[in-house]
């Protein structure tokens, strides 16, 4: 199984012949200028919430690829109005098995609305059971007590967490989240894209020193095996 970082909070996971795309925001991200959104492939697109820095390329990629879009009900309904019919609506706590594995939609503490002002439902994250591993993609969120429950009920192999602060938790809180989740492996996201969320990467990694977890900061375009 391979994960590739496309910038900000956008990743792909390649697993069992399927490509999962998370929160497609590429063409509007100047740091991702080497990535061509028109060439990004997807069989499934998982959307955590409606903000433009997570959905800017959603409609164009969904139309071009025909990927199944997995999202909360309100995002599903908005996409239907954009001519995207291949959607699968979920809600917090919902579980569903897809061709690539099992998805649980998890709680995230964040706001959610589209650029046109349409309400995007509540923000969410995803707990994925794929190829015998558990991967947690938190979406934009603050540190929450609910993460303890996730750690108690699942053995999380990898967690993808925001670390930029200001709009989400920072690296210090993400390190605490890793302790709540009982995971050893964290991939950082939602950092350095714009001024509000620029971080000191050394300080961010140092924040994890006492958490028992390691923080991986991927370069845009980088791919690693997980």
For position 212, what pLDDT does the model report? 86
For position 210, what pLDDT does the model report? 80
Q: 3-class SS at 65?
A: helix
Q: What number of other Cβ atoms are within 10 A of residue 17's Cβ? A: 8
| Whether the Cβ atoms of residue 123 and residue 168 lie closer than 8 Å to each other | no
For position 102, what pLDDT does the model report? 98
pLDDT in tens, 49-105: 999 999 999 999 999 999 999 999 999 999 999 999 999 999 999 999 999 999 999
pTM for this prediction: 0.98
Beta strands in 16-169 (DSSP E): 18-22, 44-46, 68-72, 87-90, 95-98, 101-107, 124-130, 133-137, 158-162
**Residue 24: pLDDT above 90?**
yes
Confidence of residue 180 (pLDDT cuts 50, 70, 90): very high
For position 15, what pLDDT does the model report? 97
| Whether the Cβ atoms of residue 137 and residue 118 lie closer than 8 Å to each other | no
Percent of the chain with pLDDT over 90: 98
| Whether the Cβ atoms of residue 61 and residue 88 lie closer than 8 Å to each other | no
**Residue 119: pLDDT above 90?**
yes
**What fold, for 2-225?**
Metallo-beta-lactamase; Chain A (3.60.15)
Alpha-carbon span 65 to 194, nearest angstrom: 29
Q: Is pLDDT larger for residue 211 or for residue 59? A: 59
pLDDT in tens, 134-174: 999 999 999 999 999 999 999 999 999 999 999 999 999 99
Q: 3-class SS at 131?
A: coil
**What is the H or E stretch that residue 204 is in?**
helix 201-206
DSSP 67: P
Instruction: Look at phi and psi of residue 148 and say left if phi exceeds 0, alpha if psi is from -120 to 50, else beta.
Output: alpha
Alpha-carbon span 169 to 160, nearest angstrom: 12
Alpha-carbon span 23 to 75, nearest angstrom: 12
For position 188, what pLDDT does the model report? 98
**Mean pLDDT of all residues in the chain?**
97
**Residue 47: pLDDT above 90?**
yes
| Whether the Cβ atoms of residue 226 and residue 193 lie closer than 8 Å to each other | no
DSSP 170: B
**Residue 13: pLDDT above 90?**
yes
For position 144, what pLDDT does the model report? 98
For position 211, what pLDDT does the model report? 84
């Amino acid at each position: 199984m391979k994960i590739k970082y496309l910038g900000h909070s956008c990743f792909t996971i390649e697993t069992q012949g399927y490509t999962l795309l998370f929160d497609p925001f590429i063409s509007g991200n100047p740091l991702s200028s080497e990535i061509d959104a028109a060439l990004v492939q997807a069989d499934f697109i998982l959307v955590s919430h409606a903000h433009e820095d997570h959905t800017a390329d959603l409609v164009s990629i969904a139309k071009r690829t025909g990927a199944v879009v997995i999202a909360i009900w309100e995002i599903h309904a908005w996409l239907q109005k954009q001519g995207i019919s291949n959607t699968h609506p979920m809600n917090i706590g919902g579980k569903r098995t897809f061709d690539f594995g099992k998805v649980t939609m998890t709680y995230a503490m964040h706001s959610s609305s589209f650029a046109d002002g349409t309400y995007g439902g509540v923000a969410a994250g995803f707990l994925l059971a794929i190829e015998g591993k558990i991967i947690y993609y938190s979406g934009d969120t603050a540190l929450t007590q609910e993460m303890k429950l996730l750690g108690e009920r699942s053995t999380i192999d990898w967690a993808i967490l925001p670390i930029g602060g200001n709009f989400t938790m920072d690296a210090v809180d993400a390190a605490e989240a890793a302790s709540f989740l009982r995971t050893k492996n964290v991939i950082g996201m939602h950092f350095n894209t714009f001024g509000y969320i620029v971080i000191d990467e050394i300080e961010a990694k140092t924040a994890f020193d006492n958490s028992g977890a390691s923080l991986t900061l991927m370069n845009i375009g980088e791919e690693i095996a997980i």
